[in-house]
Structures are given as structure tokens and as C-alpha cells.
Structure 1
Amino acid sequence: MSNSISIRPASPNDISQIRQFILELAIYEKAEHEVEASEEALLKTLFGEGATAHCVICENNDAPIGFAVYFFNYSTWQGRNGLYLEDLYVSPTSRGLGAGKLLLQHLAKIAVENDCGRFEWSVLDWNKPAIDFYESLGAKPKSEWLGYRMDGQTLIDFAKQG
């Protein structure tokens, strides 16, 4: 059977598959216990009124094999939007078919079409296969920046202080 890989915008009908991909990604990243997103939350944040995140589905012969979730951010230094890739996942049985590269190229085209000055994402420091893959495409790590996060009760408590 030959491979026919395609990428399309996700729709609300894909919500169960999107959540399944999120769970599979979380298992791979050893963080399954951190997944809080329900199908209802995903429907609201990806397809509801005012949704700012977007999702694409990657298919091989019309069967879903992966997805990517992205949103637009902003660079004050460039005075332009950027595209931030939140998650990219290809099922283990479909890796090596070129789906990951096609997903990244698809998002790069969206970034260019929207006059974005940057296309960025993060990768876990232990994920050597992903790091090698990204670097093979010409992407470079942002070693001078550290990511910070505030979430959960810390976020709630901090917000109440102001």
C-alpha cells in the first residue's frame, strides 16, 4: 500500500481523535498524569467562539496519524506576529513516512502567509530524536532563553495579590 499523506484543518468531529493524540503524546513525554483537557474543553478552546488555538490533522490514506496545535503570538522587537507550535505528534507506527516534516512545512506556510516573523516551539531536553530531527531541518535551539511557567494554585494565588 502506498502512502498518501495529507494535512487538513481539524473540525469538531475530530475532537475524540485529538484528545487521543494528546494522551499518546503525554505518555511519550512521561506526563500522562498531567493531562487535564476534556473533549468539552478542547471543543471550546479549539472551535468555540473566540478560540485562539488552531489544530490540523495529518492523515495517511485518509486515516489520522498525527496532529499539530498552534497559535499566533507577538514579537514586540519585530512588530509582527509569530506562530507558536504547542504540540506536534505523529503515531509511532507512522513515523518515518515524512509526516512530521510535512506538518512543520504546513505550519511554516501558514506562518509565511500570515506575515509571521518567527515560527517557534519547545522540545524536552531529553528528546534526542526530536532535537536531531528539528536540527536536520535547520531549526536552532534558543539556548539564551529559559522558559518559565506559573500554573495551578500558584497562578491563582499570584493573581489574587494584585
Structure 2
Amino acid sequence: MSLVIRRAEPRDVADMLRLIVALAVYEREPDAVMATEESLAETLFGPNAQVFAHVAELDGRAEGIALWFQTYSTWTGRPSLYLEDLFVSEALRGTGAGRALFQALAREAKARDCARIDWAVLDWNDTAKAFYTHIGARKGEGWEPWRIEGAALKALASD
């Protein structure tokens, strides 16, 4: 088994979409993915790309993904790295691929002078929470995730 962790490249778009769909299935939202190969190529590799990814490659095939972007913390006065999605296929679970993806993100955060890495986890995903605790992460307290989308977002924008 040859495991490689690297920055995603345009040639990875089809595998990345496959992993995003697999993540949606795992998270019990199989019909939620609206991303396409074209939208991923544009947002990750287009001229104004502000979203990035690392892949875990097993014997030449992407079997894990960490998709992230940079945010900013006014409290620290420094950027933060926000991990949007982390997913490792069954083939790689238990091999250290998840930890290796996080190590790559930690190096990225350090290179960008980020104060922290933030992400969210579903409340029922005890396996993920145990993994995050194991690598030294802690659950945030006091903040609730909020979102505006769809018709509400459209209505707000048109006011």
C-alpha cells in the first residue's frame, strides 16, 4: 500500500466529486450534492480560486479528501483555516490517512500564519468526534452554527 497526501490538482476533480458524494451518503444526505465536476474545477482551480483541497491517494487513486478555505478571526487578528469537509473512504479508514490529512492542514495553517483550524461535525458522528479528540482537538462551546440559504437568501439579497 502506497499512501500519498498531496494538494489536489485539476486531474482529481472526478475523484473529489466521487468522495463528496460518498460523504453525503455517509452523512445521510445522498441527494444533497449539487456540485459538479465543472463547479469543483472552477472553484478549486479557476482564476479566482479561494477553496483548496488535499487528497489522500492510495496506489494512485484519491481515497480521501480535506476541502478547506481561509477565514479570519478578529479576536486573534490572524487568519484561520476552515475545514469544510474531511472524508476518508472505507479503503483508507484506520490507516492513518485522516491524521495525515490533518497534519497536511496543520502545515498549511502554519505556513499561512493561521491561528487555528475550525470545522463542524454532525452531533451523531461519535466516530469522528473520537478521532478529533484523539488528535488533540476540542469541541467548541457557546457558539451554534447558523445558516441562510435558498429562498431566504434570495429574498434577503433582493431587499
Question: Which 5+ residue runs of structure 2 have no aligned equivalent?
Answer: none
Counting aligned pairs with the same residue, the percent is 43
Give secondary structure in 1 for the equivalent of 2:142. Answer: coil
Distance 1:156 1:97 in 2: 44
Alignment pair present for 1:82 and 2:77: no
Give secondary structure in 2 for the equivalent of 1:147. Answer: coil
Give 1:93 deviation, angstroms.
Answer: 2.2
Distance 1:17 1:64 in 2: 6
- The amino acid across from 1:18 in the alignment is M
Q: Deviations over 1:95-118 (max 9, x none)?
A: 000000000011011001111001
Give the alignment's Cα RMSD to 1 decimal.
Answer: 0.9
Give secondary structure in 1 for the equivalent of 2:31. Answer: helix
Cross-structure match for 1:31: 29
Cross-structure match for 2:40: 42
Question: Which 5+ residue runs of structure 1 have no aligned equivalent?
Answer: none
> How many residue pairs end up in the alignment?
159
Q: Deviations over 1:8-44 (max 9, x none)?
A: 1111111111100000000000011111111111111
TM-score by length of 1: 0.95
Give secondary structure in 2 for the equivalent of 1:124. Answer: coil
Distance 1:121 1:52 in 2: 17
Give secondary structure in 1 for the equivalent of 2:148. Answer: coil
Give 1:48 deviation, angstroms.
Answer: 0.5
Cross-structure match for 1:117: 115
